[in-house]
Amino acid sequence: LKTLSCIFSALLLVSISTTAQVKQEKDSVEKVRLTAVRVSGDIVNIIKSTIVDDFKGWEAAVDVELKHYYPILEIGSWSRDVSLANGHYTNSGNFWRVGVDVNLLKKDPVKNTLFFGIRYGRSSYDERLDYVITTKEFGQENKSLENLNMKAGFLELTTGLRVKVIGGFWMGYTGRLKFAPGVNESNQLQSYDVPGYGLTYKQPWWGFNYYLMWKLNFKKKPTTSSP
Amino acid sequence: MKGFLFLILALLTASCFEQGDCSDVSSNVVQVNFYSNSSKTALTIELDSVKMVDFDTLMYVDKDLNKVALPLNPALNSMTYVFYYNNTEATLEIHYKFKTFALAPDCNAIDLITLTEATSVTAQSPTVTQPNLTSTTVENIKLYF
């Protein structure tokens, strides 16, 4: 995990330093306006759902293009079914993230995107733990605990790449450094996994999505020239 | 192509990073040390026995001890013990709560026990010095005689 955190940190540092190195563009007179909307579907969670036994989930996103800024909304759902040495843990829930990405490739003609950004995420989920506690004095005790309607929040730093493939079809990935999970700890059962964040005992934690995207560009209004 | 290679690599290695630490320091045993009511120093008691109320279990029969380890039932939230010594008895009632953690895949789910209150009927009020029960704790409660 430390290695991954270092990789993410390095990527972010490279991104930031790249920004610093780019000569400051002269302010263009072009107004910041909505020029495109992009809908994305994540394939990592779909593949993971088929090859990993304890995970089922999906993620999608929609972002809009405002000059070099890309406000983004991500939604998703996941459930986990984890076998423990003395029991079984399950959860299921939905999550959303909002944030903005900043494109570092400001002069790319097709607006390919090398970005960094930030997200705030919220998750709502249910979880259940069935387990057996064994003590030499009292023997085995079967226990079941459940947390319903749990809420959690978290933050992410993101970086990644989005590249035009052909027409409106784009592909790209997002790496996430997840941190500051805010989880209700007053219940007896402490949350093990928060949908959208991951394992609560991993702080920070990481995430990765590979997106297939469709981008819809808005045409500029034709300007009327006066004779 | 490089992106896909990275994707496959990430998927293959993802589960490795989910491995957690299975080390378990949880304990259901509360460490009770004896102290003199007057001098507040460690005290050795000639115990006739210690009875676990509601379980008809006798422990520490005819022992000279300055501390005992008392098991707490993970199915309950309070336990009562009666100390018989020198033809007298002292009752210690312990209240506790749980926080339950699933440690990691293929590791245990554990109950961490926290003492919420300890009361004594005949001895001076005991002091909870360390509310969290772990396998390495040497004293949770000071019990005065």
| pLDDT (0 to 100) of residue B129 | 96
- A118–B contact, CB cutoff 8 A: no
Q: How far apart are CA B134 and CA B143, in angstroms?
A: 19
| Distance set, CA A38 to CA A101, A117, B50 (Å) | 13, 16, 72
| pLDDT (0 to 100) of residue B37 | 86
Instruction: Yes or no: say if B141 and B118 are a contact pair by the CB < 8 Å rule.
Output: yes
Nearest CA in chain A to B17: A1
Please report residues of B whose CB lies closer than 8 A to that of A208.
7, 10, 14
Instruction: From A40, A29, A37, select the one nearest A111 (Cα to Cα).
Output: A37
Long-range contacts at A25-30 (CB < 8 A, ≥ 24 apart): A25/A106, A30/A67
Nearest CA in chain B to A193: B102
The answer to whether the Cβ–Cβ distance between B71 and A51 falls below 8 Å is no
Q: How far apart are CA A74 and CA A61, in angstroms?
A: 4
Q: How far apart are CA A11 and CA A29, in angstroms?
A: 32
Q: What is the pTM of this model?
A: 0.79
According to DSSP, residue B141 is labeled E
Instruction: From A103, A96, A129, A113, select the one nearest A197 (Cα to Cα).
Output: A96
Handedness of CA B10, A38, A217, A67 (dihedral sign): negative
Reported ipTM: the value is: 0.80
Instruction: From A75, A62, A67, select the one nearest A102 (Cα to Cα).
Output: A67
Rounded to the nearest angstrom, the minimum Cα separation between A25 and chain B is: 30
| pLDDT (0 to 100) of residue A218 | 86
Q: How far apart are CA B12 and CA B10, in angstroms?
A: 6
Q: How far apart are CA B29 and CA A132, in angstroms?
A: 17
- A202–B contact, CB cutoff 8 A: yes
Rounded to the nearest angstrom, the minimum Cα separation between A44 and chain B is: 7
Per residue in B18-35, pLDDT tens? 566 788 889 999 999 999
| pLDDT (0 to 100) of residue A7 | 47
* Residues in contact with B35: Cβ distance below 8 Å, sequence separation at least 6, in sequence order: B41, B42, B43, B142, B143, B144, B145
Please report residues of B whose CB lies closer than 8 A to that of A202.
17-18, 20
Per residue in B26-60, pLDDT tens? 999 999 999 998 888 999 999 999 999 988 889 99
- B69–A contact, CB cutoff 8 A: no
- Identify the residue whose tokens are 């400001």: A106
| pLDDT (0 to 100) of residue B124 | 76
| pLDDT (0 to 100) of residue B15 | 47
Residue A188 buriedness (CB in 10 A; 0-12 / 13-18 / 19+) = middle
The stretch B62-68 carries a mean pLDDT of 94
Nearest CA in chain B to A54: B105
According to DSSP, residue B26 is labeled B
Which strands make up the sheet holding B29-35, listed edge to edge?
A: B67-71, B29-35, B141-144, B124-128
- Strand B57-59 to strand B109-120: parallel, antiparallel, or no bridges (unpaired)? unpaired
> Which stretches of chain A drop beneath a pLDDT of 70?
1-30, 220-227
| pLDDT (0 to 100) of residue B14 | 52
> Does the structure show a pLDDT above 80 at B82?
yes
SS3 of residue A197 by DSSP: coil
> Does the structure show a pLDDT above 90 at B105?
no
- B98–A contact, CB cutoff 8 A: yes
| pLDDT (0 to 100) of residue A203 | 84
CA-based max dimension of chain B: 84
The answer to whether the Cβ–Cβ distance between A51 and B10 falls below 8 Å is no
